Amino acid sequence: MSEWTNIVLESLNQVWTQMLVFIPKIIVALIIWVIGKYLINLGVALVRKIDIKGTKIDDYLIGVFSKVVLVVGKFLLLLVILDFLGVGRAIIGAIANGLTLMVAIAFGLAFGKALEEDAKEVVRQFKKHLVKK
């Protein structure tokens, strides 16, 4: 056999071996997904049955809270599955970096807008002192 044939056969063997190792992880991830969805739906059903004696909790508020539980539960379930498959840490790091930058930009814009008039006054005073000399 030629050298190219050996290279192709060795590459196919490596791909096949990696797939055989990865398929059980996929099956376990699917099992985690099914069990997780069942538990999330159970939690949402329990939230919808909340009825505290002596208080009048609006149905709208319970609906919103159940939707929040559903969305957060599915997001956390997705992160658990991605972490099990080995890619979750990178995604969590990227999300954390994105949230940090988002908060920093929001604070910068808020303070910039709040101090806009003061900044105009400082620039006006600075220009006034430059023109005098």
- At residue 53 the predicted structure's pLDDT band, cuts being 50, 70 and 90, is low
Give yes or no for residue 119 having a pLDDT over 60. yes
Helix (H, G, I), strand (E, B) or coil at 54: coil
2 or 56, greater pLDDT: 2
- The model carries a pTM of 0.60
**CB-CB contact of 49 with 101 (8 Å):** no
pLDDT digits (tens, 9 = 90+) for 62-81: 888 899 999 999 999 988 89
Of 18-27, 32-41, 124-133, the least confident: 124-133
- Domain spans in the chain, listed from the N-terminal domain onward: 3-132
Angle at 80 between CA 17 and CA 27, to 5 degrees: 40
Helix (H, G, I), strand (E, B) or coil at 56: coil
